[in-house]
A and B are shown apart, each in its own frame.
Chain A
């Protein structure tokens, strides 16, 4: 089972927007709110907000202009997993990870991964970023 495919009855929140940079502030506000409610420490809240912003900004750059930006937050004990996805601008779009923004994202998140999915069964090609962030360094 993939986290991205199921709503499993746990605390899961999904936000869908047009894939435009102008709406990313809304998504990162949701990230920040969820982290605060999940009792993340203040640095971890700041880091998650920034990581989600980076991930979404990277995806918007690679997205088809008519695409939806789908951002799913899986709130788990002591951590939040984020799965953000867009339809690729081109079938062979590959996310560039040789950027300052990507290095910042790697620094902010505990784990981050790019997922490319080719077009199939009439569905367009997609590109996604999955990232994990834990609640903080201090054990609770």
Chain B
């Protein structure tokens, strides 16, 4: 293969690993590792849609484990916010596991954290019963208004 035909070594961006599992009946766990930016957000979108489809079909709760995420851009936030909206429409709340500043700071600074139930580790996210529903589910984030079209409804 000539150099000219060689694929761009950076063509796919940094790796983003995603894995969907069912650690217990009625719970879909989406584990995400890597950096979520404009290049990788579409992959997150695809896997989150799968998890939410399962929630739609089976009434499962959905936990997104972001422990291994080392960067989160607005494009990734938009995907998560769209997922939160869809989950709310299904009568639940999207659960996030967010431990590091790389994830908690973007959620906090944009006010998007109000849209999720957030946990420090996977075990608590899986163990905790549903929080008081409704009270905060419809409260808009106090910071930046999330996108209103395109990523969810």
Contact = CB atoms under 8 A, between A and B. Distances in A.
A66 B15 CA distance: 24
B124 interface: no
A21 B102 contact: no
B145 to A, nearest CB: 7
A43 B104 CA distance: 10
Given A53-B73, A54-B73, A107 B38 contact: no
B145 A23 contact: no
Given A21-B38, A24-B37, A100-B146, A50 B10 contact: no
A108 B109 contact: yes
A50 B147 contact: no
Contact of A24 (B12, B39, B78): B39
B2 to A, nearest CB: 20
A52 B145 CA distance: 20
B75 interface: yes
B147 A100 contact: yes
B101 interface: yes
B12 A22 contact: yes
B10 A54 contact: no
Contacts of B10: 20, 22-23
Interface in B1-28: 8, 10-14
A42 B101 contact: yes
A90 interface: no
How many chain A residues sit at the interface, stated as a range, is: 20 to 34
A28 interface: yes
B9 to A, nearest CB: 9
A28 B102 CA distance: 13
B96 interface: no
B113 to A, nearest CB: 13
B13 A104 contact: no
B12 A101 contact: no
B111 to A, nearest CB: 9
A49 interface: yes
Identify which of A20, A28, A50, A105 gathers the most chain B CB atoms within 10 Å of its CB. A50
Given A50-B72, A101-B78, 14 more contacts: A20-B10, A22-B10, A25-B14, A25-B71, A54-B74, A57-B75, A100-B74, A100-B77, A100-B78, A100-B145, A101-B74, A104-B77, A104-B106, A104-B109
